[in-house]
């Protein structure tokens, strides 16, 4: 077994040992029943050496290794003999390093709420409810990180010379040799004949794959954008992968069955047994109303839901229409006005002087009845959270034809809501929902809440770098600037102890 394989196994060993202990703050002492003896007969145990080796070799940890007090541990190990006091101190340091390393592997080393205040929701029930270990998304990206680091250690990607104009299939150029080698290094091309100067079909297909992985137009033609992506230093890609690994550690757990919506990819995927079983397009929040990152549990769905307008939509969308007297339009789409918490005490919107209100002091509830024009469509999937975000259908199916789909007010709109409902509820003991039963219930046009016997982990992620089932890394645009925010935080990582400062760019 190679070094990285041993370290990978050991990392799961330490994580599993401290699974429950790590729920507490990593800066507090380990519970008495979790304290370990790392010294036997005056010498470090094999586990102690494995722990120290794993920590030193683990480049996926975003923060500085100084946080583990490795230098102090080395100083104590240099003593010619370990007195009882030194053994106690050394054992304490090793236990703290163990606890902190486990926490960093499971939950990341940075505080997500300081970086993304108001734009992240993490329900700790998810970590407790799912299986031990790392998510398949995290494991794949960690594997990719090791591959990229091996390429970097070997000197990085070969630079492709600048060209004037475009290179495409059927053309010959000495630059094609460099393109072949570059694409071979990144796994996009299988042919290792770098002497061939012909831009043939295999090179064209490799270029298309490279372009898809980098969110470029997949036309198989090498132009300025494709060339720039090829010549991006591998160190920048490694830094981006590490950012995404950290975010995955905040949000994901070890369940093999889960839903993931990747914001910058505009997709939602249902995983069963660690493999994708259903994938669809999504619409996410507009840049001024970005979709937050969320880790939670889907506990129920609603067929034929009522839509209750949130404060921002009342203020920015509905109130201007009321002030303009567009009552017919609001009534046509099923908007009703009511008082009280549930909005049941209905009032006539035409008999109210709306010019008196600015949006912050409106004493009314705005709701939309179930129906084909309901903003939530026919289905919504609920994981109650303080950001009021959920996944739902939409009556505007045309919007899925666009490439960039930042069009919602923050919630996730899905392309195949009925298919997702069926996939989640088909085998539920409460109903065993067939497609026929789902459509039949929708046709009744009455709101119905359907509980999920075993809540499903749902992760709304911001993965600008992820590894697919083939291990290929896909890079996506930073549509909300969340990467930029994280890098800015890292660059200005103040107010933390010196040992906790990041080593992101070291």
φ/ψ of 347, rounded to 5, equals: -130, 160
Q: In which element (H, E) is residue 308 found?
A: strand 307-308
Residue 302: helix, strand or coil by DSSP?
strand
* CB atoms near residue 444 (< 10 Å): 11
State the Cα–Cα distance between residues 321 and 317, nearest whole angstrom. Answer: 7
- Of 116, 446, 427, 407, which is closest to residue 285 (Cα–Cα)? 407
Residue 295: helix, strand or coil by DSSP?
strand
Query: Could you confirm whether 411 is annotated as catalytic?
Result: yes
In the set 63, 411, 422, 499, the catalytic residue is 411
* Sign of torsion over alpha carbons 227, 230, 233, 235: positive
Per-position b or e across 20-49, b if 16+ CB within 10 A of its CB: ebbeeebeeebeeebebebbeeeebeebbe
Query: Could you confirm whether 499 is annotated as catalytic?
Result: no
- Tokens, residue 246: 């950290």
* CB atoms near residue 263 (< 10 Å): 24
Q: For 105-131, give the secondary structure using H, E and C.
A: HHHCCCCHHHHCCCCEEECCHHHHHCC
For 207, 320, 351, the CA distances from 325, given in Å and listed in that order, are: 55, 9, 11
Whether residue 337 contacts residue 347, with contact meaning beta carbons closer than 8 Å, is answered with yes
State the Cα–Cα distance between residues 81 and 142, nearest whole angstrom. Answer: 39
In the set 109, 121, 214, 392, the catalytic residue is 392
> What is the CB-side half-sphere exposure of residue 356 using CA atoms within 13 A?
6
Active site residues: 392, 411
């Amino acid at each position: 077994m190679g070094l990285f394989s041993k370290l990978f196994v050991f990392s799961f060993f330490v994580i599993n040992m401290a699974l429950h202990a790590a729920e507490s703050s990593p800066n507090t002492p380990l519970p008495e029943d979790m304290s370990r003896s790392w010294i036997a007969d005056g010498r470090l145990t094999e586990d102690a050496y494995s722990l120290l080796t794993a920590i030193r070799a683990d480049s996926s940890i975003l923060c500085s290794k100084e946080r583990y007090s490795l230098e102090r541990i080395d100083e104590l190990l240099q003593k010619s003999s370990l007195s009882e006091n030194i053994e106690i101190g050394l054992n304490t340091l090793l236990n703290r390093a163990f606890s902190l390393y486990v926490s960093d592997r499971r939950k990341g080393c940075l505080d997500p709420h300081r970086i993304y205040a108001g734009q992240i929701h993490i329900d700790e029930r998810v970590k407790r409810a799912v299986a031990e270990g790392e998510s398949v998304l995290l494991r794949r990206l960690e594997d990719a990180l090791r591959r990229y680091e091996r390429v970097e250690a070997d000197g990085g990607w070969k630079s492709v010379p600048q060209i004037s104009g475009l290179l495409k299939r059927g053309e010959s150029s000495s630059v094609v040799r460099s393109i072949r080698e570059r694409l071979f290094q990144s796994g996009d091309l299988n042919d290792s004949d770098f002497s061939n100067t012909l831009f043939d079909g295999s090179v064209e297909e490799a270029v298309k794959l490279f372009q898809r992985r980098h969110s470029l137009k997949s036309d198989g033609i090498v132009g300025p954008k494709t060339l720039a992506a090829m010549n991006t230093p591998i160190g920048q890609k490694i830094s981006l992968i590490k950012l995404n690994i950290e975010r995955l550690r905040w949000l994901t757990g070890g369940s093999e069955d889960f839903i993931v919506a990747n914001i910058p990819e505009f997709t939602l995927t249902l995983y069963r047994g660690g493999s994708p079983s259903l994938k669809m397009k999504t619409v996410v929040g507009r840049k001024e109303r970005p979709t937050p990152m969320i880790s939670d549990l889907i506990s129920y769905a609603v067929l034929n839901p009522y839509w209750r307008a949130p404060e921002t939509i009342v203020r920015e969308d509905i109130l201007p229409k009321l002030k303009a007297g567009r009552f017919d339009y609001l009534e046509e789409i099923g908007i009703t006005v009511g008082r009280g918490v549930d909005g049941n005490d209905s009032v006539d919107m035409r008999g109210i002087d709306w010019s008196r209100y600015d949006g912050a002091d409106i004493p009314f509830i705005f709701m939309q009845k179930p129906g084909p024009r309901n903003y939530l469509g026919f289905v919504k999937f609920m994981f109650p959270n303080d950001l009021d975000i959920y996944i739902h259908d939409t009556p505007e199916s045309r919007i899925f034809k666009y490439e960039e789909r930042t069009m919602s007010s923050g919630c996730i709109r899905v392309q195949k809501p009925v298919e997702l409902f069926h996939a989640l509820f088909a085998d539920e003991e409460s109903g065993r929902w067939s497609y026929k039963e789902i459509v039949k219930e929708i046709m009744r046009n009455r709101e119905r809440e359907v509980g999920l016997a075993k809540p499903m982990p749902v992760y709304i992620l911001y993965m600008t770098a992820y590894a697919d089932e083939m291990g290929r890394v896909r890079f996506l645009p930073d549509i909300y600037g969340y990467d930029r925010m994280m890098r800015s935080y890292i660059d200005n990582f103040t107010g933390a102890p010196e040992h906790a400062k990041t080593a992101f760019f070291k």
